[in-house]
Amino acid sequence: MSMATRLWRRRFKLLTGLVLVLVAASVVHLWTKVSRIENALPLDALHKERSFAVLLEEVGRLETELRLGALEIDAARRERLAFALDLLILRQRDNRDLYAGLQLPGVAELHRDLGAALAGVDETLRDPQPDAASLAAWAERFGALRERLRALNGRVFEASIGQAVTQRADLDRLRNTVSAMIVMLGGLGMALGVLLVRQQRNIRELEKRDLALQAAEVAQRELRERLERITDNMPGVIFQYREWPDGHSCFPYASQGLRELFGVSPEAAAADGGVIFSAMHPEDRPRVIELLRESARDMQPRQVEYRVILDGVESWLSSHGTPRREADGSLLWHGYTHDVTRRRLAEDEIKHLAFYDSLTGLPNRRLLMDRLRHALALCARTGAQGALLFIDLDNFKTLNDTRGHDCGDTLLRLVADRLRQSVRLDDTVARLGGDEFVIMLEGLGARPEEAATQAEQIGEKILALLNLPYMVDGQEYHGTPSIGVALFGDRETRVEDLLKRADLAMYQAKGAGRNTLRFFDPAMQTLVAANSALEAEMRQGLRQGEFILHYQPQFDAGGALIGMEALVRWQHPQRGLVPPGEFIALAESTGLILPLGQWVLETACAELAACKPVCGRPLGVAVNVSARQFRHPDFVEAVLGVIERSGIEAAQLKIELTESLLLEDVEETVERIGRLKAHGVGFSLDDFGTGYSSLSYLKRLPLDQIKIDRSFVRDVLSDANDAAIARTVIALGQTLGLHVIAEGVETEAQRDFLIEHGCDAFQGYLFGRPAPIGELRCLGTLH
């Protein structure tokens, strides 16, 4: 601060000091002047002059008394004379100092002479009879002294006048000085007054400002407290984060939520920002710091999510900050942090539900397909091959239906665990649904032969692992898988096609007797292409009425015709008559079985209705119904509708179902069969013995007939096992009160064997091949 500024700030004190100094100087000056004037007051001179006049009068009286005494002296005169003398003596004594004070020549002599004369008269008067001459002489002397006194008195008067003039001048000067001082002091007083007024005004102004400041401070404190109350009660943290160029950092402000989210007090964070970063998960910290660096570079806001572990509990936090450059060179972020753990968990949950199988926790089809796409892209870059292993559990449905879904679920979980253990962490084990699992192996050899060898080794390992016994609900269970393998390494291949190849290979493994592994080969690919073409042709064939029905007769043990089985054929324009074995499976997988099955049902019932009764009995017709057809929600109504429209009796219709169909959802199956049986429709179990042949479900299903599969009938005379199976099926049917029919009976010996063991009915080339209804020779007897 400069000297001038300092002086200006202290101007009031300086001015006050100056005024006091001037007032003091003026007082001293006036005091001196007054003293001086006082000393020289003309009153003194006048007083002296008056004293001299009195003295002169006293001298004159004594002179007069002396003269009178000189004429005649008596006691009275003597007394007046003595009185006048004493008065004069006293007067002279009183005026002694006056004489001394008068600086006039002759005064001292006069005083002395007067004293001497008074002493002489006193002496004279001591004489009781003073002589008149002495008195007259003294009268003369005092006359002379009176003249001298008069003359002196005149001079004293003149001196007094001169002194008065001088004093008058002094008084004028004093008055001028006083006036000047009054003016000056008045001016100073006014200046001081103005200053005081201004000072007062300034003080009032300052007081007002002070009050306003105090009010503002109170308001600010209240606002701050209110804000702090709000921010401290808000979920999460409101913060300011500051960073200096030297890397030092701190949180100048952080709401109380900091304690909850980071386990750090706002005070600790205000001292050192590092404590907050230390609380972050070590894996996330570098990412957060990198984002801060980016924000500092482009001065743009950033948002980041990271983990914090507090008391061993991990939580997810989200922070948002907007940077600002400060005058001191530091960067200041204003932001907020809040807990997003619940949202992250929900997201993880959603992600998990969307991409993982809830039963086994394995990736689902969606995730598998996604990973497969990435794997294909990676293969294209690295040149390495990969493999898809499609795993299907053999006979899983049996376990599921015989021991319940809980056991099935337990087995699926155990299988999932074993599959996970059988591959590397990088490989993917997925569950497509049901008992279907897929393993995606990556990073196999670059040559297909090498990759195939590796895939086979892993596949064999899985086979061995899944063949080990399982403990399912306290019971040992033995299961086997069928595994199809498809190699990949070509980006052009579609993931759906790849999965289809592995699926096809798995079916090859099933076809090869199960519990084995098969590779997808080009021949299978050709088959896929052929199937697509066949599907298109089937659709067209259905539209153009290329499908026809053949009927195969069925006879009882007495040789009487009891009915016939409707068997569909495709009268293909180029390929001729195509048997159902070549298109039923495809029709099932494509859904074409629904319109085709409906057509078969309608046609069979309509053609039966046109048949005449044989031997007075109405004929029956057996119609094959596929699983997909049977499971259709409208199946029961569709069948009843067909019966009604055709006009046949419901009891004339028998529906043939396959064993595998009955294994799925037994409850629903029982319910549907029951509803149709209530109308009189009969049910036959086809191909009995080839599947699972579980007595438990056989007992529960309201069937009418079981059909011994022709594979047992064929070797019933040569194969003891087949003979035993045939006998057992017949015995089982009898036990359960079911009608038993044997199919594929080609010889009389077969027929005789079956009759011998109690078989109720027969169907086969021995009695007649399937043929159009018009060509059917319905013989009335076996013989």
Ligand X SMILES: Nc1nc2c(ncn2[C@@H]2O[C@H](COP(=O)(O)O[C@H]3[C@@H](O)[C@H](n4cnc5c(=O)[nH]c(N)nc54)O[C@@H]3COP(=O)(O)O)[C@@H](O)[C@H]2O)c(=O)[nH]1
Residues of the shown chain interacting with ligand X in the complex, contacts defined by CB under 6 A: 552, 565, 567-568, 579-581, 584, 600, 624, 626, 686-687, 710, 743-746, 764-765, 770
Q: Least distance from C-beta 536 to ligand X, angstroms?
A: 20
Helix (H) or strand (E) holding 670: helix 666-677
| Residue number with CB closer to ligand X (232 or 746) | 746
Question: How far is the C-alpha of 687 from the C-alpha of 710, rounded, in Å?
Answer: 8
DSSP 240: E
Report the C-alpha gap between 29 and 50 in whole angstroms. Answer: 33
Nearer to ligand X, 427 or 686 (CB): 686
| Alpha-carbon span 282 to 306, nearest angstrom | 10
Burial (CB < 10 A; 0-12, 13-18, 19+), residue 341, is middle
What is the C-alpha to C-alpha distance for residues 19 and 25, in angstroms, rounded to an integer?
10
- Cβ 715 to ligand X shortest distance, Å: 12
Of the two residues 64 and 690, which places its CB atom closer to ligand X in the complex? 690
Name the minimum Å distance from CB 669 to ligand X: 16
Q: How far is the CB of 692 from ligand X (least distance, A)?
A: 17
Residue number, 305 or 746, with CB nearest to ligand X: 746
How far out from the chain centre does Cα 271 lie? 25
Q: Least distance from C-beta 400 to ligand X, angstroms?
A: 24
- Cβ contact 655:681 at 8 Å: yes
The CB-of-627 to ligand X minimum distance in angstroms stands at 9
- Which is closer to ligand X, CB of 264 or CB of 706? 706
Residue 433: phi, psi to the nearest 5?
Answer: 140, 160
CB of 672 to ligand X, least distance (A): 16
Residue found by looking up tokens 């896929």 in the block: 528
In whole angstroms, how close is the CB of 739 to ligand X at the nearest point? 14
Residues near 155 by beta carbon (within 8 Å), at least 6 away in sequence: 104
Q: How far is the CB of 686 from ligand X (least distance, A)?
A: 5
Minimum gap (Å) between residue 589 Cβ and ligand X = 13
Distance CA(650)–CA(656), nearest Å, equals: 14
Q: Which is nearer to ligand X, 63 or 743 (CB)?
A: 743
Question: DSSP assignment of 483-511, as one string?
Answer: EEEEEE--TTS-HHHHHHHHHHHHHHHHH
Q: Which C-beta is closer to ligand X: that of 26 or that of 747? A: 747
Task: Name which of 537 and 686 has its Cβ closer to ligand X.
Answer: 686
- Based on CB atoms, which residue is closest to ligand X, 182 or 585? 585
Question: How many whole angstroms separate alpha carbon 296 and alpha carbon 164?
Answer: 97
Query: Minimal CA–CA distance to 543: which of 492, 480, 613, 592?
Result: 592
Torsion over CA: 224, 230, 233, 237 (sign): negative
User: Minimum distance from CB of 579 to ligand X (Å)?
Assistant: 4
Of 442 and 659, nearer to ligand X (C-beta) is 659
Cα angle at 675 between 669 and 681, to 5 degrees? 100
Question: Which residue, 333 or 688, has its beta carbon nearer to ligand X?
Answer: 688
Q: Which residues make Cβ contacts (< 8 Å) with residue 261, sequence separation at least 6? A: 236, 237, 308, 310, 315, 317, 337, 339
Q: How far is the CB of 690 from ligand X (least distance, A)?
A: 10
How many Cβ atoms sit within 10 Å of the Cβ of residue 268?
A: 19
**Distances, alpha carbon 435 to alpha carbons 249, 411, 459, 660, in Å:** 58, 9, 17, 15
H helix runs in 234-389, sequence order: 257-262, 266-271, 274-279, 285-298, 341-355, 365-382
CB-nearer residue toward ligand X: 489 or 770: 770
